[in-house]
Structure 1
Amino acid sequence: MHIELKRGSSTKLYVQIALTLADRIRSGLIEPGARLPSVRKMTTDLGVSLVTVSKAYAELEAIQLITCSQGKGCYVRGAQELEKSEDMERTHRIQAKNESSTPWNWQMALVDYLPRAQLWRHFDASPQVRYELHMSAIQPELLPTREIIDSAYRLSSDLPERMAAYGSFQGDRELRQTFSGHFAERGLRVMPERMLITSGAQQGIDLVARTFVGPGDVVYMEAPSYTGAIDVFTSRGAKIITVPMDDDGMRIDLLTRLCDTYPPKLIYTIPTFHNPTGITMSAKRRAQLLNLAQSYHCLILEDDPFADLYFRDPPPASIKSMDGTGHVIYIKSFSKVLSPGCRVACAVADGSVLTRLVAAKSTADLGSPLLTQKALQSFIQHQYSAYTARLRDELYSRLLAASTVLEEHGSPGMYWTLPDGGLNLWLQLPDGLDMRELHRQSLAAGVSFLPGSACYVGETDTASLRICFTVTNQELLCEGLRVLCRVIKNITPQQGGATADRLPLI
């Protein structure tokens, strides 16, 4: 496996090795029960000392990600079986047998460049899950799927010649014109020529990272932040620095002090109904952030998946609406609100930044599928506003129902803040709770959630989790939350222990 070591960094080499392996283990890129390379082989591959690799493995063992046995090697712990010492010998024997019998065992020698993939790891729920609260999505029955399917059918039947040609790399012009009107109603005046249609916001983030972020470039993010963005910037080898938040969003005072030491290449933010916390950045902070980007000549990547899903008052205007110098790349996703399967988002940028993004898009996929762009265009132009108004009322009622259940069944020390919009509720749990055990028992009880640790970069275990209150119907939502609250009450807080003073490897 490839481990990028920064030998001039203030972070010690054994910590860099441990952090990389920890990310890969938690992402499922190294499977439970897998045998890690021997200390001697890792030493040779990385060009470091035996002591360095031994200390890295010791750190991983201390936080219970691996188990090492003299003469047998180091193995990744499984969810349950490897936590019991009496099962270790049996697991090692099974692993040894598999290593000699599987026809694809040679693949372990292939070097890959995926340091982390938490988004993939937490995307699909296991088969036994009845209450899927981990996925940030809207219940399919609430989406205008039938209208979009009918529109796609009419287009493919009545205008087949459109489907027989490549679309523009930049995206369908008619859809971009519709977006222009949509944005203008929300205070962002932008011509179609300044837009790029992407296959969802995730592709937009990836295009920005592949175009403008390289190894060692400094990227700032909120702490916590969107798991998929962390994965993307980590894969680029960026130096990610996280900034704490308060009720008004990212702490610009702390960011400013950090930038004096580590000048930014890019600042990634979700200022409206932040994922995962639900916090909305104040208008004052948005202006301060733009001023900071202008002074450092860096980019802001403004990710906006939820702004149309406000529950009371519309959120503050986007940072991009204040940008007259081309420092902001604005990505507006319509996938979650309309059709996750259509994967349509719009990136707004200026000057050569946009030109370079279009070039990156052309090499990625030759342009997003034309049929899905055409199918969504008519709905967004004629029905979107009325649809989102109805949707907001329904989602808000589910948020209130979720909060009521948590108030009635939650444990002492559990707290949350109702967001002003969006899909997610961020729960802070009592300190010292064993989050790995909570996740395991919750899945066994049929409830999935997103562990808070997946939303941090290089952090220790955090007693927090994200649930989505919009992904299932209200009855199942409330049932699932009651089950989750019972599981939380059954988990005994950790009393310090061997891992209390170890390195932050999450």
Structure 2
Amino acid sequence: MSESSSVARVAATLRELVKDRPAGARLPSSRSLVRELGVGPVTVQRAIDQLVADGTVITRPGAGTFVARARVGGPADTGWQRVALGASPVQASGALEALSAPPVDCLDLSRGYLDVGLQPTSRLAAAAARAARRPQAWTVPPPSGLPELRTWFAQQVGAEAEDVLITPGGQGALSTVLRSLVPAGSPVLVAEPGYPGVISLLRSAGLVPVAVPTDAGGLRPDLLERAFATTGSRVLYVQPTFANPDGHVLAADRRGPVLAAAAAAGAFVVEDDYARFLGHTSTPPPALLRDDTDGRVITINSLTKAAAPSLRVGCVVARGPVMQRIRALRIVDDLFVPRPLQETAVELVTGAGWNAHLRFLSATLGERMTALTTALAIELPQCGFTRPQGGFSLWLELPRGVDDADLARRAEGAGVAVGAGRHFVVAEQDTAHLRLCVAGVDLPRIADAVQRLASAF
């Protein structure tokens, strides 16, 4: 059982204890809980921290843990807010689905975040400790980010440091960039299937996502040209390398035609390069930015997927006047990325162990993906898929007549969490899909996870 599952189990046990006790009653000591529940003291403490955070218990140093007093008064009458707010423009269902933790003891094939075993936790802890001791660690950073971090990101994608802006992760960068380029109501072309976080973002910003189909070679240039002509769009969003959710790579002979189609339409290309460090076997192709000769491509990169979910440090790479607008909106949104986080990122990626971590991550993701595809071929031969060469997700085509959302619910009941494919598309689909991720389940449990999924059929 994973550490997070153990913490959730202990927290649930403590909540049951609290139900039967009056306010002010003392709970068993941490030492007693460790002995009775068969877990470590750290697990017990983290479970108690969860209950303290939601107001269920309070702790008194040297005295123990006690049931908190009930809140005074009943629930507030907030019905007036529904009248004042009106219809909500915010549509975050796909993003929320991607963030939601599966139930305790449910194998996780749904979320695209590295489990603790794949995160460089010891290196992150050491980097954070060193960063906090830097003389200027708690001062205001330069508006565009720390020079060392900008230089490092520039080297990864083949750009100049002055064209790099540090952002609070990839999602924050996408929000700033897309809102900078076009006003609300504008169409934005999106490769489909695609990242649900950007679909939710576009709809919530009042922008209109328009699907452009892909195949094993990525975006189809003929359909892209037609989409530009039909919609008059001035923005294309695309993940050319190990795209989420199907892991495809934009074919080498399509890179030029995609940029040419954007140039003919006078459009920007927003390149989400989130998976640059997630190749399984070979070096990923260069960023699309390197083929750009006129400042058309705006590239977004992030450390979150390759390091840890809470290392929310990313960048935007852009050339020309558009960077001035992006930088200005970035500052208006939240001023700057906290300097300690930037300093931690610098310490991590410039340290001796970063490249070793990337090699370990690459090999492990490859092994897990091989185990997943092997198990699928045995347990679900009626489903189709193409093995990705990078990233952490696989796009599983379901037999006709199978409902993806219903299957996902039944799979959770069978003990495995999967992603319903409808969150990854804009338009109607002929065939339903599931997204399966290998980031959150370790190698020995993958076959078991697929067997549970098969039982849900």
Interval of TM-score (by shorter of Structure 1 and Structure 2): 0.7 to 0.9
Q: Distance in 2 between matches of 1:170 and 1:113?
A: 33
Residue 236 of structure 1 deviates from its aligned partner by 2.3
Tell me what 2:123 maps to.
Answer: 147
Q: Distance in 2 between matches of 1:318 and 1:176?
A: 16
Tell me what 2:25 maps to.
Answer: none
Q: Distance in 2 between matches of 1:106 and 1:411?
A: 53
Tell me what 2:325 maps to.
Answer: 356
Native 8 Å contact 1:398 1:469 kept in 2: yes
Tell me what 1:75 maps to.
Answer: none
SS of 1:196's partner is strand
Q: Distance in 2 between matches of 1:179 and 1:214?
A: 29
1:5-20 matched pairs, under 5 angstroms:
none
Tell me what 1:407 maps to.
Answer: 377
1:50-449 matched pairs, under 5 angstroms:
103-111=77-85, 113-117=88-92, 118-128=94-104, 130-157=106-133, 159=134, 161-183=135-157, 188=158, 190-382=159-351, 383-412=353-382, 414-449=383-418
Residue 129 of structure 1 deviates from its aligned partner by 5.5
Distance 1:366 1:101, change over 3 A: closer
Q: Distance in 2 between matches of 1:178 and 1:126?
A: 35
Tell me what 1:97 maps to.
Answer: none
Name the amino acid aligned to 1:363. V
Q: Distance in 2 between matches of 1:121 and 1:105?
A: 27
Name the amino acid aligned to 1:133. L
Distance 1:408 1:339, change over 3 A: same
Name the amino acid aligned to 2:422. S
Native 8 Å contact 1:128 1:446 kept in 2: no
Name the amino acid aligned to 1:472. V
| Greater alpha carbon shift after TM alignment, 103-112 vs 330-339 | 103-112
Residue 202 of structure 1 deviates from its aligned partner by 0.3
Map Cα deviations across residues 30-65 of structure 1 (whole Å, 9 max, x no partner): xxxxxxxxxxxxxxxxxxxxxxxxxxxxxxxxxxxx
SS of 1:207's partner is helix
Native 8 Å contact 1:129 1:443 kept in 2: no
Residue 360 of structure 1 deviates from its aligned partner by 0.7
Residue 148 of structure 1 deviates from its aligned partner by 1.6
TM-score (norm 2): 0.80
Residue 338 of structure 1 deviates from its aligned partner by 1.0
Q: Distance in 2 between matches of 1:197 and 1:237?
A: 25
Name the amino acid aligned to 1:178. W
Q: Distance in 1 between matches of 2:411 and 2:387?
A: 23
Unpaired segments ≥5 residues, structure 2: 1-73
The alignment of Structure 1 onto Structure 2 pairs a total of residues equal to 381
SS of 1:146's partner is helix
SS of 2:305's partner is helix
Q: Distance in 1 between matches of 2:267 and 2:402?
A: 39
Q: Distance in 1 between matches of 2:225 and 2:130?
A: 53
Residue 244 of structure 1 deviates from its aligned partner by 1.0
Q: Distance in 2 between matches of 1:435 and 1:326?
A: 40
SS of 1:307's partner is coil
Residue 399 of structure 1 deviates from its aligned partner by 0.8
Tell me what 2:44 maps to.
Answer: none
Distance 1:281 1:331, change over 3 A: same
Name the amino acid aligned to 2:232. P
Name the amino acid aligned to 2:371. A
| Greater alpha carbon shift after TM alignment, 438-447 vs 365-374 | 438-447
Residue 232 of structure 1 deviates from its aligned partner by 1.0
Residue 258 of structure 1 deviates from its aligned partner by 2.4
SS of 1:363's partner is helix
Residue 270 of structure 1 deviates from its aligned partner by 0.5
Residue 359 of structure 1 deviates from its aligned partner by 0.5
Q: CA RMSD in A?
A: 1.9
Native 8 Å contact 1:222 1:242 kept in 2: yes
Native 8 Å contact 1:155 1:375 kept in 2: yes
Q: Distance in 2 between matches of 1:415 and 1:451?
A: 15
Unpaired segments ≥5 residues, structure 1: 1-99, 489-506
Residue 461 of structure 1 deviates from its aligned partner by 7.7
Name the amino acid aligned to 1:167. P
Q: Distance in 2 between matches of 1:163 and 1:115?
A: 36
Tell me what 1:25 maps to.
Answer: none
SS of 1:241's partner is strand
Map Cα deviations across residues 151-178 of structure 1 (whole Å, 9 max, x no partner): 2112223x2x413311122111111122
| Greater alpha carbon shift after TM alignment, 103-112 vs 293-302 | 103-112
Map Cα deviations across residues 82-123 of structure 1 (whole Å, 9 max, x no partner): xxxxxxxxxxxxxxxxxx986233332232643411202442
